[in-house]
Amino acid sequence: MIPWLPEEVCELLPFEPRWVEVAGYRLHYLDEGDRGAPCVVLLHGNPTWSFIYRDILPAVASAGFRVIAPDYLGFGRSDHARYEGDYAIAHHIGRTVALLRQTGVREAVIFCQDWGGPIGLGLELAQPGFIRGLVLANTFWGEASLFHRRVFPWRTLHGPLSGPLLLSRRRMFVNGIRLSGPPSVQIGPAWTAYTLPFEYHGGPGGTLAFPRAISLGSEHPTQALADALWERLASLDVPVRFVWGDADVVFPLGEQGAALQQRLPRGGEHPVHVVSGGRHFVQEYDPQACADACIRVAEESYR
Amino acid sequence: MNDQPVVPLMPVLADEGLPGEFVRAIREIGPRWTAPSGRVFDIAVEGTRAVISIVLEAPEAPPSEDEIDLELLELIGAVHDAVGEEWSSRAVQNTARAWGWEVSGTPS
C-alpha cells in the first residue's frame, strides 16, 4: 500500500483514501457520495488507478449517487502481489467482489474502461444481477483485438523474456499513458500520480500480467472467461451507454465498440458518445462525457 | 574442505510458462552467454522457466541497471532471432524504442 501521496497529487485527488484487506492484501479505493444512494462503480485499466476518475467521481457523486473507484492489486495505492499468479484475472474479479461486499454494495452501475471490461463484467458472473447499468468506454471482454495480435508493437512488448525485460525491469507499461493519453497527463502532478505506484514499489505491479492475460485463442487460459463474458453479454438487458475515444488504436470503435454494441440486447440502440481525437484513456480526454454517461445510465437504472 | 571456488550468480531476469520453441532456443544458446563487454551471463532452464543471472567472477560492484538491461536486450534478441526470423531482434529493439526506451543504435 502507498500510505501517502505527494502534495501536488493530493491537490488533484482530494478524496479520503479507504482500505480493505482481501486475501492478505491491502486494497485501496475511493468512496464518495451518499452511502445510502444507488451506487456507480468506476473500474480502471492497465496501468492506471482510481486517480483517472478524479474529475468523474465528484461529478457523479454530486448528481446524487454513491461512487466507488477501486485500485486493483498491483495498481495505484493497493499492495503489489507477492506471487505473479495472484494477478490472474479471476483473482482480480474475486478481490473486486470482496472489496465491494465489504463496502456493502450489492448492485451497481459500472463504468468499464480497458481491463475494467472483463473485471466489471466478471462481477456479473460472480454475482448474477449485480450490474444494474453499464457504461462501456474503450474496453473489451478479454479476447485480443487486431492490435493485440500484432507482433509489433504489442506482442513483443510482453513476449517471452522480452516482457520481463521491458515491463518488469524497465517498468515501461506506464509509458502507455504517454502513447495513449493527452499531453496534460504526460507531465507534472498527473504524471507523478501515474508513475508513483511503480516508483514506490520499485516494480511493475500487475502491468506484465494484464497483457499476457489477453486471450489469443482457444488454448489461452483467459479464453474460458472471455467466452463466459461474451455469453452473458447477450442477455445483459440493462441500460447501456458508450463513451469511446475514436483515436484509440487498441480498441477501435468500429471493432470492439461495434462488437459490444451488437452483442448486447437491443444491439444498435445504445447511445454512443464519440470523443473526437480521444485515445485509449478516454477518461482523460473527456471526463465530463464519462460522468454524464454514468449519471444518465444510473438515472435510467434506478428510477 | 572444498577448495573449489564458488562463482556467485546475480539473478537479473526470470520468466516462466515459456513456449517450447523459446525453451529450445535458449538451450541452443547454451548455459553461458558472453556479452560484447566480456560480461558472462548464466542461463538456467528448468521446465518452462528460465532464470538469467550475471556471473560475478570476483567480489565486485554490480554493473549499472542500464548496462545490464542493454546486454539483456542483446541476449533476448538472440533468443527471439533463433525462434523467429532475423528481424525478430530488431522487433524487440523497435518495440523498446516505441515504448520510450532510448536504445542506442540505428532504428531498423
Q: Is B100 on the interface with A (CB under 8 A)?
A: yes
Please judge whether B99 and A152 are an interchain contact, meaning their C-beta atoms are less than 8 angstroms apart: no
Query: Considering only alpha carbons, which residue of chain B is nearest residue A166?
Result: B96
Question: Using one digit for the tens of pLDDT, what is the confidence trace for A228-285?
Answer: 999 999 999 999 999 999 999 999 999 999 999 999 999 889 999 999 999 999 999 9
Question: Is residue A95 included in any domain, yes or no?
Answer: yes
Question: Is residue A35 included in any domain, yes or no?
Answer: yes
pLDDT at B106 over 50: no
Domain that holds residue A142: 7-302
Q: Smallest Cβ distance to B18: which of A152, A156, A160?
A: A160
- Helix (H), strand (E), coil (C) string for chain B: CCCCCCCCEEEEEEECCCCHHHHHHHHHHCCEEECCCCCEEEEEEECCEEEEEEECCCCCCCCCHHHHHHHHHHHHHHHHHHHCCCCHHHHHHHHHHHCCCCCCCCCC
CATH of the domain at A171: 3.40.50.1820
Question: Is residue A51 included in any domain, yes or no?
Answer: yes
Question: Is residue A294 included in any domain, yes or no?
Answer: yes
Please judge whether A166 and B98 are an interchain contact, meaning their C-beta atoms are less than 8 angstroms apart: no
Question: Is residue A130 included in any domain, yes or no?
Answer: yes
Question: Is residue A1 included in any domain, yes or no?
Answer: no
Question: Using one digit for the tens of pLDDT, what is the confidence trace for B35-71?
Answer: 999 999 999 999 999 999 999 877 677 789 999 999 9
Question: Using one digit for the tens of pLDDT, what is the confidence trace for A177-200?
Answer: 999 999 999 999 999 999 999 999
Question: Using one digit for the tens of pLDDT, what is the confidence trace for B30-42?
Answer: 999 999 999 999 9
Predicted local confidence at residue A152, as pLDDT: 85
Question: Is residue A96 included in any domain, yes or no?
Answer: yes
- One of A86, A248, A286, A292 is an active-site residue; which one? A248
Please judge whether B100 and A164 are an interchain contact, meaning their C-beta atoms are less than 8 angstroms apart: no
Question: Is residue A12 included in any domain, yes or no?
Answer: yes
Its pTM stands at 0.95
Does residue A236 contact residue A134 with C-beta atoms inside 8 Å?
Answer: yes
Confidence of residue B3 (pLDDT cuts 50, 70, 90): low
Lowest mean pLDDT among A104-118, A202-216, B93-107: B93-107
Q: In total, how many domains does chain A have?
A: 1
Q: Which residue shows C-alpha cell 499476457?
A: A212
Is 0.90 exceeded by the ipTM?
A: yes
